[in-house]
Chain A
Amino acid sequence: MPASPDLPAVSVAGLVVRYGRVTAVDGVSFDARAGQVLALLGPNGAGKTTTVETLEGYRRPDAGSVSVLGLDPVDDHAGLVPRLGVMLQRGGVYPGIRPREVLRLFAAFYPDPEDPDELLERVGLSSVARSTWRALSGGEQQRLSLALAVVGRPEVAFLDEPTAGVDPGGRQVVRQVVRDLAAAGAAVVLTTHELEEAERLADRVVIVDRGAVVAAGTLAELTAGGPAQEIRFGAPPGLDAPALAVALGAAVEEVAPGEYLVGCAPTPAAVAALTAWLADADLPLADLRAGRHTLEDVFLRLTGADHDEPDRARAGDGRAARSARQGRSGP
């Protein structure tokens, strides 16, 4: 029985979850629809896992409500689980079991499962089908956990950090499986603290920080807003910024070695003046960004400032942010 197209497959309204005195989730609301990928993006400790585990029925809301396919995850657990795919943040598999064995086991739980051997091939684990779980690499374990989440052809999938610890080749596999799942009509809710994953995979992004939603929307909506009266570019460090400022008639600041911020609207004339100045000085242009925020800008603006643990948050997110920009500025 497919969910009605008008109704969201997953609905979270004013969700509050507490552990003793600590409020892990503090008024989170969002909807996820069939055929779409929704990413819960936020730093570690933002409440992503708690939110997802409430949707999976592992805990009850302290306030607010959640519904999955119109059902209550705790009260209607037995009716819901055959239609659900779940990937926990870690573990969840017998250490001594082999990939083919555990996939066949899980396939036996569902009425219309995927073929375990085909699925093993799709997630690239055929060559290690006879190793035990404890002998698999972290990335292989993640891909097997993902396969276990999709083997029952779920209508809703909750994937907690599906690409954490996965190497670049493995990430391609994970992304393809997630896209296929959405293409088959499932609502996919995944969590990540990596911008690149949210940018690549998600139709909608919900940014959470310290238990609350700080922004939500499609990538276009999230990155279009705000006063983008600036041009950012990359060039060799130590440019003659004052001279450039005179040439452009606007403030120029080297915000990081080799990264510059020009304080004027990104009109074609301003960009032309900038590139002409660089051409005259025979300087290479590494990167040019105008008119749009990246998700990184939005994310850091919303979650980076006055954070309780700014060092940890920035260090962790900075790495992801850099790779996100590399992905974006490619040819």
Chain B
Amino acid sequence: MSAAAVAAQTRVELTLTLRRGESVLLTLGIPVVLLAFFSVVDVLPLPAGVREPVDFLAPGILALAVMSTAMVSLAIATGFERSYGVLKRLGATPLGRPALLAAKTAAVLAVEALQVVVLVAVASLLGWRPEGSALLAAGAVLLATVAFAGIGLLMAGTLRGEVTLAAANGLYLVLLLLGGMVFPLDRLPAALEAVARLLPAAALSEALDGALSAPAAVAAGPWVVLAAWAVAAPALAAWRFRWE
């Protein structure tokens, strides 16, 4: 794997992501608006024991941002690259699949870093004072990124480009509602809550919430769920992915 090739590929992945208006809207616009709106406008139910909306919203919206980039944006971009024959064409260059995957990973992590900077800044302006362990939070984000990217690439590698677009957006909405991101999990009906807790979105919100509380807490449930998705989804994607 040539470092120059990975660097060039990463630069192009990042440039194209930031050039797509809908991708910037999805990864930065929507999270910032949701965070600011529901922090200021007091309409959302809050989980027991939380006083300020932003204290509940900030970890959840960070989780939403990770999901937008690692799953939705990656799935849509890769799905269209597949239907436009870009992946096929790259297959006939010396770049190689490991290098392509490395470049996509680097680009996703770079966008996530940008999202964290922007969202933490906005949340701080709204009065959020994160405590706990940033390292633990970063670990949860990395684990979730692997899980979400696996789901995104599974869709991109098996469905047509347009179907991937629709499916990724649909899944985004479902996981937004069932992810404990803007709507507390304990307000869901019991059966739905049980299902939601097995999904990676809620697991990430919970893990982030625990990591950024004082003292930092590691609840076994969310971390086990995240780890399971982080193993299963990429494995399934690697097995089912079709390059043409």
Instruction: Considering the complex, give the chain B residue whose CB is closest to the CB of A79.
Output: B94
Which one of A58, A81, A101, A105 lies within 8 Å of B88 (CB-CB)?
A58
- How far apart sit A135 and B94, CA to CA, in the bound complex (Å)? 28
**24 residue pairs from A and B, CB less than 8 Å apart:** A57-B92, A58-B88, A58-B91, A58-B92, A82-B94, A84-B92, A88-B85, A88-B88, A90-B85, A92-B86, A94-B12, A95-B80, A96-B16, A102-B12, A104-B8, A105-B8, A108-B7, A109-B2, A109-B5, A109-B93, A110-B93, A110-B94, A148-B89, A152-B94
* B interface bracket (residues with beta carbon within 8 Å of A): 20 to 34
Assembly CA distance A101 to B5 (angstroms): 13
CB of B92 within 8 A of CB of A86, answer yes
Q: How far is the CB of A143 from chain B (nearest CB, A)?
A: 15
For chain A, which range describes its interface: under 10, 10 to 19, 20 to 34, or 35 or more residues? 20 to 34
Name the B residues within 8 Å of A90 (CB-CB).
Answer: 85
A81, B16: Cβ atoms closer than 8 Å? no
Contact partner of B92 among A81, A91, A93, A104, CB < 8 A?
A: A81
Interface assignment of B51: CB less than 8 Å from any CB of chain A:
no
Q: Is the interface of B mostly helix, strand, loop or mixed?
A: helix
- With A and B bound together, what is the CA distance between A203 and B73 in angstroms? 48
Q: How far is the CB of B93 from chain A (nearest CB, A)?
A: 5
Report chain B residues within 8 Å CB of A102.
Answer: 12
CA of A101 to CA of B8, assembled, Å: 10
* CB-CB nearest in chain A for B17: A96
Contact B85 A92 (CB under 8 A): yes
Contact of B86 among A78, A81, A91, A152 (CB under 8 A): A91
Known: A81-B92, A108-B8, A108-B9. 9 other contacts (CB 8 A): A58-B91, A84-B92, A88-B88, A92-B86, A105-B8, A105-B12, A109-B93, A110-B93, A152-B94
Q: Given A96-B20, A104-B8, A108-B8, do A91 and B95 touch, yes or no (CB 8 Å)?
A: no
A105 CA to B4 CA, complexed, in Å? 10
